[in-house]
């Protein structure tokens, strides 16, 4: 081998050695980076687990709060029913009819729940009406009837202090309004009455007419349905009446005991 070839060979070997070192260094960097990534990944997995745990805890807290709210609502309902034992169960039955109607009208789960609570509490203002008037077997005087009518406003005043996620106080206020403005207390008309209150008006009438009262025996479901049919579009919302009639006459719905 000539000297020149020798020099070239050692130069090439030198370059190879340098390239090798570079590769080695790059490999080490890559390994370091990979180890860092593994660590970061573990950290992320841990954080995700923590988030999932927290989310599960929040679901439980939410359920507990919801149960507490519903229990409080039931307490208020029982108190209002105790005031007027002749109509015991009225609020619960009205709520069931109203919920069935609103399901057919396409309300989502949350609004269905609101409808149930509104049903439970719509007559809570009766607490301010003297018990002897509520249970009077004979015909009411005009004065007595006026006192009974005040339950809508009284209910609103009590319920308005609670911040419900639904229009509970407004439904209590408006559930005796009628589509043609013949209701009370504000003589609201048509769409200015909340849909929830229009549903409650129909459910309330059907339940009240079909069950017993201190001054008369229950008139039966057919009489009650005939009443809302007669008031369809004048006193009661047409759509709501149609849905309610269909529920009872075609879908076999019955007022719960
Ligand atoms: Fe009422």
Rounded to the nearest angstrom, the distance between the alpha carbon of 67 and the centre of ligand 1 is: 26
Rounded to the nearest angstrom, the distance between the alpha carbon of 65 and the centre of ligand 1 is: 28
Rounded to the nearest angstrom, the distance between the alpha carbon of 98 and the centre of ligand 1 is: 14
pLDDT digit string (tens) for the chain, length 257 residues: 678 888 888 999 999 999 999 999 999 999 999 999 999 999 999 999 999 999 999 999 999 999 999 999 999 888 888 887 777 789 999 999 999 999 999 999 999 999 999 999 999 999 899 988 988 888 899 999 999 999 999 999 999 999 999 999 999 999 999 999 999 999 999 999 999 999 999 999 999 999 877 667 778 899 999 999 999 999 999 999 999 999 999 999 998 88
Three-class DSSP category at 232: strand
* CA nearest to 208, candidates 158, 154, 148, 128: 148
> Backbone phi, then psi, for 203, in 5-degree steps?
-60, -40
| pTM, to two decimals | 0.80
Q: Structure tokens of 27? A: 């490999």
pLDDT at 225: 96
Q: Which fold has domain 86-249?
A: Hypothetical protein af1432 (1.10.3210)
Helix, strand, coil percentages in the chain from 3-state DSSP, rounded to 5? 70, 0, 25
Rounded to the nearest angstrom, the distance between the alpha carbon of 84 and the centre of ligand 1 is: 12
* Distance (Å, whole) CA 114 – CA 107: 10
Rounded to 5°, angle at Cα 200 from 247 and 236 = 75
Domain ranges of the chain: 1-83, 86-249
* CA nearest to 117, candidates 185, 169, 192: 169
pLDDT at 6: 87
Rounded to the nearest angstrom, the distance between the alpha carbon of 188 and the centre of ligand 1 is: 16
Rounded to the nearest angstrom, the distance between the alpha carbon of 199 and the centre of ligand 1 is: 13
Rounded to the nearest angstrom, the distance between the alpha carbon of 22 and the centre of ligand 1 is: 88
Q: Structure tokens of 84? A: 């007027």
pLDDT at 1: 64
Rounded to the nearest angstrom, the distance between the alpha carbon of 10 and the centre of ligand 1 is: 106
Q: Structure tokens of 121? A: 């509490």
């Amino acid at each position: 081998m000539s000297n020149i070839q020798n020099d070239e060979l050692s130069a090439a070997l030198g370059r190879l050695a340098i390239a090798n070192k570079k590769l080695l260094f790059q490999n080490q960097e890559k390994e370091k980076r990979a180890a860092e990534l593994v660590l970061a990944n573990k950290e992320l997995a841990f954080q995700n687990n923590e988030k999932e745990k927290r989310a599960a805890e929040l679901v439980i807290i939410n359920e507990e709060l919801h149960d507490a709210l519903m229990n409080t609502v039931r307490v208020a309902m029982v108190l209002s029913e105790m005031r007027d034992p002749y109509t015991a169960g009225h609020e619960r039955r009205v709520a069931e009819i109203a919920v069935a109607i609103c399901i057919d009208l396409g309300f989502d789960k949350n609004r269905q729940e609101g409808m149930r609570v509104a049903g439970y509490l719509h007559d809570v203002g009766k607490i301010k009406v003297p018990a002897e008037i509520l249970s009077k077997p004979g015909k009411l005087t005009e004065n007595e009837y006026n006192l009974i009518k005040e339950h809508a406003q009284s209910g609103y005043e009590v319920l308005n202090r609670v911040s419900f996620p639904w229009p509970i106080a407004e439904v209590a206020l408006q559930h005796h309004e009628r589509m043609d403005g013949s209701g009370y207390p504000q003589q609201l008309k048509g769409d200015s009455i909340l849909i929830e209150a229009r549903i409650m008006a129909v459910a309330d009438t059907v339940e009240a007419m079909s069950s017993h009262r201190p001054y008369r025996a229950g008139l039966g479901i057919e009489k009650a349905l005939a009443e809302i049919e007669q008031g369809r579009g004048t006193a009661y919302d047409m759509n709501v009446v149609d849905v309610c009639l269909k529920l009872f006459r075609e879908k076999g719905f019955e007022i719960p005991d």
